[in-house]
Amino acid sequence: TGLKKHFPVKNGLLRRVVGQVKAVDGVDFTINRGETFGLVGESGCGKSTTGRTVLRLEEPTGGEVVYHHEELGPVNIGTADRQQLKRLRPEMQIIFQDPFSSLDARMTVGRIIAEPMVINRTHHGRELRDRVAELLTVVGLRPEHASRYPHAFSGGQRQRIGIARALALNPKLIVCDEPVSALDVSVQAQVLNLLESLQAQFDLTYLFVSHDLSVVEHIADRVAVMYLGKVVEVGTTDQLFYSPKMPYTEALLSALPKPDPRKRTRPTLLTGDVPSPANPPHGCHFHPRCKYAQDRCRTEVPQLRDLGGGQLAACHLADSLELKGAEPLPDVP
């Protein structure tokens, strides 16, 4: 609720603070238990920072993250005490984008996966080895892989190792930060399918951060679109992809590949670069790139508002525009 994360901008030579980057600037959303909640937007929109702030890997500048713990009830992560955090932390894990840099090259795969259990003292000796073997099997690797080092594995296998480590403490919520973006397209589907089957098997909830709309369409139940530190649209995946209410969502969707090349239309090109989050445009942040922009868009900030059916959008014209969604994919027989 109202989540903010601002970073100081320092002057190079004097290291004086000369401004603020509002990476996350008042973000509201709810993730329901058991769902995959997609968070999409162009790079630099604040989606990864949002994911990290939800886990309190970054201290929020403002707003709050409330986690509903089965026994403790709702806990504000920003003000939780040490005892509470000790119980919450294992339940909230992260899978990183780059499986090549996120695993310590000097540690065996077994140690990498065992580490969270060693730190939290949940397993020892024989039990720990058995648990590592079990986790390797769960992610589609083999127990004997425990004695090898990360360099012996492909990108997809390394991401499986990262997933095994994230599962070690029986988490409930996993932030997946671009988990397949560094992988070959052929491997992406395998890792996405693995994430889906693990979700069903272990009753997991995912916050799935990605710039890739095709991936999000495949995996997410609901989606939030971010632009320059703000959520500009939220809805079910179908609402968002097939009846978007915010011009920025429409523009993102227009870049998706078309199922039927004969019906290919000219994409609503996203002209111009993303403005700097240190100095965002007045009014609607999207107005310099929006083909529907009117005078009020340049001065009045549109609020995220409920349009019915669980869909929310931050656009002055959300009720009147007829925006174009993605083309439905053909049914695979």
> Can you give the binding site for ligand SF4, defined by CB under 6 A?
246-247, 284, 286-287, 290, 292-293, 297, 302, 315-317
Which DSSP string do the residues of 133-146 spell out, in sequence order? HHHHHHTT--GGGG
Judged by beta carbon, residue 54 or residue 246, the one nearer ligand SF4 is: 246
- Joined tokens for residue 163: 């997933």
| Residue 123 contact partner, candidates Mg ion, ligand SF4, none, CB within 5 to 8 A by sort of partner | none
Q: What's the DSSP call for residue 90? A: G
- Residue ranges of E strands in the chain: 3-10, 17-27, 36-40, 66-69, 73-76, 92-95, 173-177, 205-210, 222-227, 230-236, 305-306, 312-313
Q: What are the backbone dihedrals phi and psi of residue 25, each rounded to the nearest 5 degrees, phi first?
A: -130, 65
Judged by beta carbon, residue 49 or residue 157, the one nearer Mg ion is: 49
Shortest gap between Cβ of 285 and ligand SF4 (angstroms)? 8
| Residue 302 contact partner, candidates ligand SF4, Mg ion, none, CB within 5 to 8 A by sort of partner | ligand SF4
- Coil, helix or strand at residue 55: coil
CA distances 96 to 146, 169, 273, 287, Å, are 20, 17, 26, 33
Using CB atoms within 10 Å of the CB of residue 78, give its burial: 0 to 12 exposed, 13 to 18 middle, 19+ buried. Answer: middle
Judged by beta carbon, residue 174 or residue 284, the one nearer ligand SF4 is: 284
Judged by beta carbon, residue 117 or residue 175, the one nearer Mg ion is: 175
Judged by beta carbon, residue 66 or residue 255, the one nearer ligand SF4 is: 255
Shortest gap between Cβ of 55 and Mg ion (angstroms)? 14
Shortest gap between Cβ of 243 and Mg ion (angstroms)? 27
Whether residue 195 contacts residue 176, with contact meaning beta carbons closer than 8 Å, is answered with yes
Burial 102-121 (b: 16+ CB within 10 A, else e): bbeeeebbbebbbebbeeee
| Residue 48 contact partner, candidates ligand SF4, Mg ion, none, CB within 5 to 8 A by sort of partner | Mg ion
Applying CB under 5 A, what is the total number of residues that bind Mg ion? 1
Judged by beta carbon, residue 218 or residue 230, the one nearer ligand SF4 is: 230
User: Which member of 48, 50, 188, 210 binds Mg ion (CB under 5 A)?
Assistant: 48
Residue with CB nearest Mg ion? 48
| Residue 247 contact partner, candidates ligand SF4, Mg ion, none, CB within 5 to 8 A by sort of partner | ligand SF4
Judged by beta carbon, residue 22 or residue 245, the one nearer ligand SF4 is: 245
| Residue 210 contact partner, candidates Mg ion, ligand SF4, none, CB within 5 to 8 A by sort of partner | none
Which DSSP string do the residues of 286-317 spell out, in sequence order? TGGG-TT--GGGGTSPPPPEE-STT-EE--TT
Residue with tokens 């868009």: 297
| Residue 293 contact partner, candidates Mg ion, ligand SF4, none, CB within 5 to 8 A by sort of partner | ligand SF4
Q: Is 210 in the site for Mg ion (CB under 5 A)?
A: no
Give the footprint of Mg ion on this chain (CB under 5 A).
Answer: 48
